[in-house]
Amino acid sequence: MTRAQVLGFRVRAQQLDREPASGRARLRDTAVLDLGVQDTGPDGGRWALAVRGVDVSRVGEDDLVLLWTLRGAPHLYRRADLPQVAAAVAPFSDADAGKRIFDAAKSLKAAGIGYLAALDAVAAAMRSVVDRPMVKGEVSTRVSALMDEPYLRYCRSCQATHLYEQTFRLAALRAGLRLREGTSPPVLEPIPGFAPADTYPPRLDVIRAYLHLLGPATPQMVAGYLDAPVADVKRRWPQDVVEVSVDGQRRFALAADADALSAPPPTVTRLLGPFDLFLQARDRSLLVPDRDLAKSLWPVLGRPGAVLVDGEIAGAWRPRQSGNRLRVQVELWAPAPPPVRAAIGDQAERLAAYRGVQLAGVDLAG
């Protein structure tokens, strides 16, 4: 396979070729919701759905649920999938739990506390505290007061002692808590009638979902996305995969996707949010081979969005909103023909409509 074929496959698998806000796309057949849609920033989860053809103005509050899951990031899922999602995103093993909670693992290990047991202990404390919608800071303060020293750390920025961040986040769903959309700071609230399922369908399996949406890939790439040990991923590696070569490198794809791997990239232009799934693949050098351009797209702080043109990342964009007026600043990495520039303008109009503001203009450089 060539690099262009891989990117074209991902565009189609992620349904970025669906007409934006066409009204025909439905949540039930929107594939990225199987893996979760990261909801970070003003152009987060719902914008990611909008550029995949979902008319988000028709999506009700009870259709989606916002949870801290993979990498401790907030993700949107179908509300109907919630019990199965809770099972699918849980750590594969105690070692996996230890890797996912990062620096908290050291103090827990020194105290002889298992990592899954630690998550369950924090979840029990959270469950006892959060009986109504509560701001994250209040939850953290009250839960921290219930936990022993191995669960806590001194935070210099807060000048306070509280729970390790990843332990707190990953315990929330185990406690039956969701995030309220559109709140900053985050508000946590109980999920009525919550009970995780014992099993989940193959489409919600996080390894299979990664291979379908961001493949072909290797176990190392999947493990990097999940923050899981490579050994755990290999033990759960699907049997129905085929080996492919991507520019000479060995990778794997689901056998069911084999026929779609060679299709050419669709002709589409999209403004992707900074944390869109298309940008989350763990092979950034394939997505953006130029190192300097990659650094500009994935800085340590303040990520821009990406301009997707016919399967390629063609530039970066940033919103500049003042009151109810929005300007979109676009930097293209190479000259673009008039139809692409017009399509970028159309996407900016859609973004302004999504935000409920007026488009003041598009500043297009390059």
- Comparing CA positions, the residue from 76, 109, 77, 80 lying closest to residue 94 is 109
- The verdict on 185 and 294 lying in the same domain is no
Shared domain for 161 and 302, answered yes or no, is no
Q: Are residue 19 and residue 162 in the same domain, yes or no?
A: yes
Establish if 130 belongs to a structural domain: yes
* Residues 225 and 282 sit within 8 Å (Cβ to Cβ): yes
168 and 45, same domain (yes or no): yes
Strand 312-322 vs strand 177-179: parallel, antiparallel, or unpaired?
unpaired
Exposed e or buried b per residue across 135-155, where buried means at least 16 C-beta atoms within 10 angstroms of its C-beta: ebeebbeebbeebeebbbbee
From 143, 172, 190, give the residue that closes a domain. Answer: 190
Same domain flag for 181 and 293: no
Tell me the residue range of the domain where 12 lies. Answer: 3-190
The sign of the CA dihedral 183, 189, 192, 194 is: positive
pLDDT tens per residue across all 366 residues of the chain: 999 999 999 999 999 999 875 667 899 999 999 999 999 999 999 999 999 999 999 998 899 999 999 999 999 999 999 999 999 999 999 999 999 999 999 999 999 999 999 999 999 999 999 999 999 999 999 999 999 999 999 888 777 899 999 999 999 999 999 999 999 999 999 999 999 999 999 999 999 999 999 999 999 999 999 999 999 999 999 999 999 999 899 999 999 999 999 888 899 999 999 999 999 999 999 999 999 999 999 999 999 999 999 999 999 999 999 999 999 999 999 999 999 999 999 999 999 999 999 999 999 997
Question: What was the pLDDT predicted at 69?
Answer: 98
| Shared-domain flag, residues 184 and 273 | no
Assess whether 168 and 42 both reside in one domain.
Answer: yes
Q: Are residues 48 and 154 in the same domain?
A: yes
Domain-located, residue 68: yes
Tokens of 74: 């907030």
Confidence at residue 214, expressed as pLDDT on a 0 to 100 scale: 98
Find, among 341, 303, 267, 296, the residue nearest to 4 by Cα. 267
Q: Identify whether the C-beta of residue 277 lies closer than 8 Å to the C-beta of residue 32.
A: yes
Q: Is residue 17 part of a domain?
A: yes
Q: Given 175, 190, 205, which residue is the final one in a domain?
A: 190
pLDDT the model gives residue 356: 95
The domain total for the chain is 2
| Residue 110 included in any domain | yes
Find the DSSP H helices in 92-149.
94-100, 104-110, 115-129, 136-144
Q: Does residue 171 sit in the same domain as residue 303?
A: no
Query: What's the pTM?
Result: 0.96
Those residues with Cβ within 8 angstroms of residue 239's Cβ, 6 or more apart along the chain or in another chain: none
Identify how many contiguous H helices and E strands the chain contains and give both numbers: 15, 15
DSSP 176: T
pLDDT of residue 23: 61
Task: From 142, 160, 190, give the residue that closes a domain.
Answer: 190
Any domain includes 223: no
The residues near 13 (Cβ < 8 Å, ≥ 6 apart) are: 31, 212, 213, 215, 257, 260
Same domain, 127 and 11: yes
Q: Are 255 and 241 in contact (CB under 8 A)?
A: yes
| Same domain membership, residue 273 and residue 126 | no
Q: Which of 9, 101, 21 is nearest to 59 (CA)?
A: 21
Residues 185 and 275 in one domain: no
Is 148 a member of any domain? yes
Residue 199 placed within a domain: no
Q: In the numeric block, which tokens belong to residue 51?
A: 């550029």
Q: Is 34 a member of any domain?
A: yes
